[in-house]
Amino acid sequence: MTTAEYEAVIGLEVHVELKTRSKAFCHCATSFGVEPNTHVCPICLGMPGVLPVLNREMVEYALMTALALNCRIAGYCKFDRKNYFYPDLPKNYQISQYDLPIATGGSLVIETENGPRTIGINRVHMEEDTGKLVHKGSIMTTPYSLVDLNRAGTPLLEIVSEPDLRSPGEARMYVEKLRLILLYLGVSDGKMEEGSLRCDANISVRPPGQQKLGTRTEIKNLNSFRALERALDYEIRRQIKTLAKGERIIQETRTWDEHEQVTMSMRSKEEAHDYRYFPDPDLPPLRIDPAWVERVCRSLPELPDQARRRLSEEYNLRRYDALLLTASRDILDFFDDCVAQYPKPKVLAKWITGDLARLLNRNKLEIKESKITPASLVGLLRLLEEGTISGTIAKAVLAEMFTTGESPDKIVRERGLTQISDEQEVRALVGDVIAENSRAVAEFQKGKDRALRFLMGQAMKASGGKANPELVYRLLREELSGR
Amino acid sequence: MELYQHTVQEIGEMLARREVTAREVLASSAERIGRVENKIQAFITLTLEEAEKTARDLEARDEIGGLAGIPCGIKDNLCTRGVRTTCASEMLENFVPPYDATAVKRLKSAGAVVVGKLNMDEFAMGSSTENSGFFPTHNPWDLTRVPGGSSGGAAAAVAAGEVYYALASDTGGSIRQPASFCGVVGMKPTYGLVSRFGLVAFASSLDQVGPITRTVTDCALVMNAICGHDSMDSTSLKVPVPDYTKDIQEGIKGLRIGFPREYFQKGVDRGVKDTIMEALFKFEELGAVVEETSLPHSEYALPTYYIIAPSEASSNLARFDGVRYGYRDRYAQDTAEMFSSTRARGFGPEVIRRVMLGTYALSSGYYEAYYLKALKVRRLIKEDFDRAFEQYDILISPTTTSTAFRIGEKAEDLLTMYMLDMLTIPVSLAGIPSISIPGGFLNNLPVGLQLMGPPLSERTLLKAAYAFEQATGYHLRTPVLEVYGT
């Protein structure tokens, strides 16, 4: 939000849980929602004498992500210890990357109302996740806390943006786009609500045109897109109000209170932790072989922007359709599967972003969960193309396919939905309609096209939607002009 | 001669020839422990029953050769599956690891019979074993004196004949210094040659596991069992492991030996200096070329060490918080208080001092001035050695500045205590191998001779040490415990 007097400057730190098979520094399987403390071993429990061993899959995923975000990959990076005491952190230090991260200097493009905007990525680094504390009620009043260390040691990427975002909406778009890229790469579930994608925001305001950044606050506990947008919105207003009163912004960490819908001060700059970072002596520096980077680069899957460009350029699809069809890798795969069997991308785009999308939305299903397959959709469109069924019937058959999972041929056959293309039959039908609607006929003869549409509708209705509409149209004209 | 008095090599041969059984060997050690342990107090935990079972199993499987069937002790900072591993700290008084340290696992699979866990300075921080959270250990050569530290229990137990050898750890001299005080052989291998997995970390970039034995050959035998790459330790070296006993008798004709003048200057007792100088003549007699050399940055080793080691320790020891294992102050009112009072009560004063030192050195605003500068000096110290090894095959110095001192004598004088390690610390900072062997005696107390070599020069060091040992016979002298003021 930018008022006349102030513009917001936002930078985001996004933490992404990587879905590698095992944890960052031990052999434990990564997991979600299993019995507490069952996916643990002496290493992720921080027992005395144990040592970390780097999971190469984590590095591979980090490389994929960094390359997808157009980052420079460091030839040499290292791991550092971030020291702080907290019961969910078994070693009381987190293995992270401090001054030599795996990648720096990338970018990501968001589609704003005013066209595409490039947002800078400052850095991408690897670290390990903490465990979780379970409190009885509020953290302030709980008589005890339970520690679940299943998550401890799960590989995380921290992706830090430049302060290039100018509104809560842009911040949301940035996270959505980042999430989409991660999903395309298949490196993370990207579920904000489940915590596999977490977000902290740095935010300040300044008069537009001013180069110098205002004093910033950091907001934590942004667990959904909604929380992100609302918290930023609230914080911008708060900062502007504070400045308007002639007061100063205090550099501090604030937390978003979902219940009260406000940000609240957590700790000031003076109270900030001194993490006493130093190189982890248990892990030798990591040299990243350019050949490895090259290999990862070549094996990167198609990314959302590339896919959208392909759809627009190769198939001449409208920008909006291309956006919808690339909104998830599953939708894109579905579309590509269809095109492979039925090379009419525009028709497919219309059906997938139209009727199918509506059915999915209404039933809150993902495309992968629906009973419609690329083959069955293509089967339906073939029936339509061959003239076996009409467009109206096709919509109905799609709905039936969606519910029952039956093949379109079977539905059409069993329900007798085959289009009536017999000229004699249709001519009789049209004759009846003309006879029964003399007023409309009269209007048509006065030159009103609307009347023709009405008569057309009546004829289709009389056939139960089965009459071939083109035939109906031709015969209607013939019959009417014949008078 | 009783069985316990034999060396690893001898008893191994006797077992192989079936002149004795593993249980007879164990019985002799157990009897020795029964006779002298109340004077020495080397063990925190004895595991004689488990040892008996191991010996029986070995006999049943007819497993002989190498280390099989030979009793040993393990310093109590090396994790032993199912046997408590305390680090001589109240913090871990009841901690029982569910895993073996890799070095322990390798000894066990070689058939080692572990008779117990050995006393040490708490978390390996100290030079006298007086910092044990439980009790001090006594030097077998003079029970009123310290055995050195931090592996005081290990060195004393080996010297007193309670075990044939011990597995210990060295961060700034913790194997070599007590070996020197107790007149036994102690080797700190090249950093990364022995896995650190399961060694409770003090200073990760310095810690190294190694043997304490009565003879150089025994040292080589134990090295054969414990060295080699371990995928559980990312700092473990991927190098082939030679047979350390091979050609050990080859002799040292033409070996180029340097003695760094800085190691014979102020702070080193005159008697110690003279003893080692005399030893150098012996090396010349044996055919080596001995020359004076210089390691100019040595004087900065101590302050460098006392920044790096506590810094790493402050982070390594953070996990002892009472949440998951070990001691917890159950009366704390909230989490923050639980953390602080658990640590205030669970750790002894020296551990707390070093954690505080390290926390300070890593703090924002001090990091560059202390930690980062220390890393740079460490580099210079290593380069000193690199240069010296362009000219010399090995370097020789005293292991310690003095012979064993009296219990309590230096407890109040920390700096003097820290200074004791000034001759062993540079090697640790450089990550190179070093061995301490008996180099002579002063007033019936052993004087340690330190041999230092470039990375992975263990075979050369063992050869030189062996030649000296055989020429002097110092290893044949043993402390007399039975008549001493019983």
Mind listing the pLDDT tens digit for each residue in A182-200? Answer: 999 999 999 998 899 999 9
Q: Which residues in chain A touch residue B197, judged by CB atoms under 8 angstroms apart?
A: 49-51
Least confident segment among A17-26, A363-372, A380-389, B427-436: A380-389
In sequence order, which residues have a C-beta less than 8 Å from that of residue B359 and are 6 or more positions away? A276, B314
The strand ranges marked E within A113-211 are 115-128, 132-135, 145-148, 155-161, 197-206
Q: Domain ranges in chain B?
A: 3-250+434-476
Q: How far apart are CA A286 and CA A78, in angstroms?
A: 6
In sequence order, which residues have a C-beta less than 8 Å from that of residue B254 and are 6 or more positions away? B287, B288, B289
Q: In this structure, which amino acid lies at residue B316?
A: N
Instruction: Quickly state the pLDDT bin for B416 (edges 50, 70, 90).
Output: confident
Least confident segment among A150-159, B62-71, B177-186: B62-71
B152 pLDDT more than 50: yes
Instruction: Quickly state the pLDDT bin for A423 (edges 50, 70, 90).
Output: confident
Least confident segment among A418-427, B164-173, B189-198: A418-427
A1 pLDDT more than 50: no
For residue range B237-289, what is the model confidence (pLDDT) as tens digits? 999 999 999 999 999 999 999 999 999 988 899 999 999 999 999 999 999 99
- Interchain contact, B85 vs A48, CB within 8 Å: yes
CA distances from B47 to A123, A164, B72, B80, B122 (A): 53, 65, 11, 11, 21
CA–CA min distance A23, chain B (Å)? 14
Percent of chain B residues topping a pLDDT of 70:
99
Instruction: Quickly state the pLDDT bin for B464 (edges 50, 70, 90).
Output: very high
The confidence score (pLDDT) of residue B451 equals 98
A416 at B interface, C-beta within 8 A = no
Shortest CA distance from A94: residue in chain B: B315
A442 pLDDT more than 90: no
Looking at residues A298-310, what average pLDDT do you find?
Answer: 96
Percent of chain B residues topping a pLDDT of 90:
94
- Interchain contact, A85 vs B339, CB within 8 Å: yes
CA–CA min distance B205, chain A (Å)? 5
Q: Which residues in chain A touch residue B356, judged by CB atoms under 8 angstroms apart?
A: none
The confidence score (pLDDT) of residue B176 equals 98
Instruction: Quickly state the pLDDT bin for A458 (edges 50, 70, 90).
Output: confident
3-state helix, strand, coil in chain B (%, to 5): 45, 15, 40
A 74-103 residues with CB < 8 A to B: 81, 83, 85, 87, 90-93
Catalytic, B246? Answer no
Percent of chain A residues topping a pLDDT of 90:
72
Q: E strand or H helix at B192, and its extent?
A: none
Catalytic, B397? Answer no
A285 at B interface, C-beta within 8 A = no
- Interchain contact, A51 vs B311, CB within 8 Å: no
A270 at B interface, C-beta within 8 A = no
Q: Residue A314: count other Cβ atoms within 10 Å of its Cβ.
A: 10
Instruction: Quickly state the pLDDT bin for A165 (edges 50, 70, 90).
Output: very high
Q: CB of A162 within 8 A of CB of A202? A: no
The pTM of the whole model exceeds 0.80: yes
B85 pLDDT more than 60: yes
Q: Which residues in chain A touch residue B323, judged by CB atoms under 8 angstroms apart?
A: 87, 90, 147
For the record, the structure tokens of B21 come out as: 């059984």
B484 pLDDT more than 60: no
| Of the partner residues A46, A47, A276, the one whose CB lies closest to the CB of residue B359 | A276
Greater model confidence, A481 or B479 = B479
Least confident segment among A323-327, A425-429, B14-18, B444-448: A425-429
Mean pLDDT of chain B: 96
For residue range A31-63, what is the model confidence (pLDDT) as tens digits? 888 999 999 999 999 999 999 999 999 999 999
Instruction: Quickly state the pLDDT bin for B485 (edges 50, 70, 90).
Output: very low
Catalytic residue among B75, B105, B108, B463: B75
CA–CA min distance B356, chain A (Å)? 13
The dihedral over CA atoms of B162, B168, B170, B174, expressed in degrees to the nearest 10, equals -20
Instruction: Quickly state the pLDDT bin for A379 (edges 50, 70, 90).
Output: very high
The confidence score (pLDDT) of residue A3 equals 56
- Interchain contact, A47 vs B232, CB within 8 Å: no
Q: How far apart are CA A232 and CA A226, in angstroms?
A: 10
Q: How far apart are CA A338 and CA A306, in angstroms?
A: 19
Least confident segment among A73-77, A170-174, A460-464, B452-456: A460-464
CA distances from A160 to A104, A191, B131, B279, B348 (A): 9, 18, 46, 62, 42
- Interchain contact, A278 vs B323, CB within 8 Å: no
Q: Which residues in chain B touch residue A277, judged by CB atoms under 8 angstroms apart?
A: 362
| Of the partner residues B92, B200, B362, the one whose CB lies closest to the CB of residue A278 | B362
For residue range B325-366, what is the model confidence (pLDDT) as tens digits? 999 999 998 889 999 999 999 999 999 999 999 999 999 999
The confidence score (pLDDT) of residue B486 equals 41
CA–CA min distance A257, chain B (Å)? 23
Mean pLDDT of chain A: 92
Catalytic, B75? Answer yes
Instruction: Quickly state the pLDDT bin for B73 (edges 50, 70, 90).
Output: very high
Residues β-bridged to residue B139: B142
Instruction: Quickly state the pLDDT bin for A144 (edges 50, 70, 90).
Output: confident
Q: How far apart are CA A344 and CA A317, in angstroms?
A: 11
A145 pLDDT more than 70: yes
Complex ipTM tops 0.90? yes
The confidence score (pLDDT) of residue A483 equals 53
The confidence score (pLDDT) of residue A470 equals 83
Q: How far apart are CA A328 and CA B480, in angstroms?
A: 81
The domains of chain A, with CATH numbers, are 7-295 (no CATH), 302-415 (no CATH), 423-481 (1.10.10.410)
- Interchain contact, A49 vs B92, CB within 8 Å: no
The confidence score (pLDDT) of residue B483 equals 58
Greater model confidence, A114 or B101 = B101
Q: E strand or H helix at B260, and its extent?
A: strand B256-260
Say whether the peptide bond before residue B127 is cis (omega within 30 degrees of 0).
Answer: no
Least confident segment among A143-152, A381-390, B216-225: A381-390
- Interchain contact, A83 vs B99, CB within 8 Å: no
Nearest to B214 by CA among B250, B160, B136: B160
Looking at residues B86-114, what average pLDDT do you find?
Answer: 98
CA distances from B434 to A20, A294, A320, B248, B430 (A): 42, 43, 72, 16, 11
- Interchain contact, B97 vs A93, CB within 8 Å: no
Fold of B3-250+434-476: Amidase signature (AS) enzymes (3.90.1300)
